[in-house]
């Protein structure tokens, strides 16, 4: 194939959609259509916490909207005649997760382990393959379209979770937020979910945040954008948070409770913790003002936990836990150069209070320190 636009048009014609659903993710408006009702039902259930948009808004002339087509079908061999590039991956027995190649008007990504294919350009976005077996990859595709939209508007991508002050539904001001960053497995989501047990807080994002200074007249004020992705949580997080009790059944709970703490901490067995189901009195927001940042630099069994205010200009190495490459689902626009320049992150974080949590893992201490940063 030589054109994303042509391939998407042909596949849409070959596999007509039977329906669709749309959402307004606090400014990023998306419509997902599919030939598979089961997939649409799963997306509706997953995005239930967010504002729906009517089908009429998917039509041309109703304002900017990203239209995604998800097709349940055996995909063609898009790579015929192209030499794909492997995406970055951690060495493992499973090998790489994805490969991609570019054409003039977009990019094609192949998920090597599931057989899913994703095509995207400026105005064309399509997923094809065993979608109903991999709804999480379709959800991630939606989120990645939102991330690209934010980065094109000048944001920097961060690897972090975030919560914010709860505000009334009619409040026009952005609530104050706290972001939590750390390398994979350090407990970003766990700490964020511990904080959600305080009903004065709402949820902003899990695992990905976008940050950028607000207008030039608001020096030192930083806007935080989240993505509509619910926490993917391990059993240890579930066992230690009563609000998450309904995520697993009694038999699984008994099995996990029998494991030693160190083994439970290392166990990778993810579950979706839907915010609205686990915290029904609180909201999933996607936009806030970043007032504070916690950088997790602790390790299990490393002695007493310590909390200390820091100046990131003096500890720039800690920002590596926050800085995140966009990955293969981001394609720079004309003249764009994606960057992980630590100086830009330092510039964007001017005026944001930063706390380092070091020593051993202690979520009670982390929760207390976070609430203090939030002024609660």
Tally Cβ neighbours within 10 Å of residue 353. 15
Alpha-carbon dihedral sign for residues 212, 218, 220, 221: negative
CA 65 to each of CA 7, 143, 145, 323, 370: distance values in angstroms, whole numbers, following the listed order: 20, 14, 11, 28, 36
Per-residue b or e along 52-85, where b marks 16 or more CB atoms closer than 10 Å to that residue's CB: ebeeeebeeeeeebbbbbbbbeebeebeeebebe
How far is it, in rounded angstroms, from Cα 344 to Cα 332?
18
User: Mean pLDDT by 10-residue block, N- to C-terminus, for the chain (376 residues)?
Assistant: 93 96 93 97 96 80 84 93 83 80 94 96 95 97 95 91 82 86 86 94 94 64 93 87 90 89 78 92 93 93 92 93 91 69 90 94 94 93
CA 240 to each of CA 104, 162, 190, 296: distance values in angstroms, whole numbers, following the listed order: 50, 19, 9, 19
How far is it, in rounded angstroms, from Cα 106 to Cα 112?
19
Q: The pTM is what?
A: 0.91
Q: What homologous superfamily is domain 156-231+273-373 in, according to CATH? A: P-loop containing nucleotide triphosphate hydrolases (3.40.50.300)
Element of type H or E holding 177: strand 176-181
What pLDDT score does 335 carry?
A: 66
What pLDDT score does 81 carry?
A: 82
Domain ranges of the chain: 4-152, 156-231+273-373
């Amino acid at each position: 194939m030589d054109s994303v636009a042509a391939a998407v048009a042909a596949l849409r014609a070959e596999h007509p959609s039977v329906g669709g659903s749309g959402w307004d993710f606090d400014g990023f408006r998306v419509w997902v259509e599919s030939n598979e009702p089961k997939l649409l039902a799963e997306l509706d259930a997953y995005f239930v916490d967010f504002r729906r948009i009517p089908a009429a808004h998917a039509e041309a002339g109703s304002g900017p909207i990203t239209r995604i087509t998800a097709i349940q079908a055996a995909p063609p061999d898009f790579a015929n005649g192209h030499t794909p590039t492997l995406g970055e991956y951690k060495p493992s027995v499973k090998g790489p997760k994805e490969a991609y190649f570019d054409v003039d008007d977009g990019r094609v990504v192949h998920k090597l382990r599931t057989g899913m294919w994703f095509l995207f350009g400026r105005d064309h976005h399509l997923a094809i393959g065993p979608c109903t077996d991999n709804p999480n990859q379709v959800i991630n595709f939606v989120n990645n379209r939102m991330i690209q939209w934010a980065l094109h508007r000048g944001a920097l991508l961060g690897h972090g979770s975030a919560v914010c002050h709860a505000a009334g539904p009619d409040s026009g001001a952005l609530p104050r937020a706290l972001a939590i960053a750390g390398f994979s497995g350090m407990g970003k989501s766990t700490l964020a979910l511990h904080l959600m047990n305080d009903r004065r807080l709402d949820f902003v994002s899990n695992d990905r945040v976008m940050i950028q200074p607000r207008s030039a007249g608001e020096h030192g004020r930083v806007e935080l954008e989240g993505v509509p992705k619910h926490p993917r949580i391990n059993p240890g997080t579930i066992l230690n948070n009563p609000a998450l009790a309904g995520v697993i059944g009694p038999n699984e709970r008994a099995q996990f409770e029998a494991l030693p703490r160190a083994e439970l901490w290392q166990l990778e067995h993810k579950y979706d913790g839907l915010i609205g189901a686990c915290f029904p009195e609180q909201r999933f927001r996607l936009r806030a003002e970043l007032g504070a940042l916690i950088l997790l630099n602790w390790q299990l069994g490393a002695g007493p936990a310590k909390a200390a205010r820091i100046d990131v200009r003096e500890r720039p190495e800690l920002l590596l836990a926050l800085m995140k490459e966009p990955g293969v689902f981001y394609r720079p626009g004309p003249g764009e150069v994606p960057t992980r320049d630590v100086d830009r992150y330092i510039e964007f974080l001017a005026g944001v209070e930063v706390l380092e949590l070091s020593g051993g893992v202690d979520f009670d201490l982390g929760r207390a320190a976070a609430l203090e940063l939030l002024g609660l």
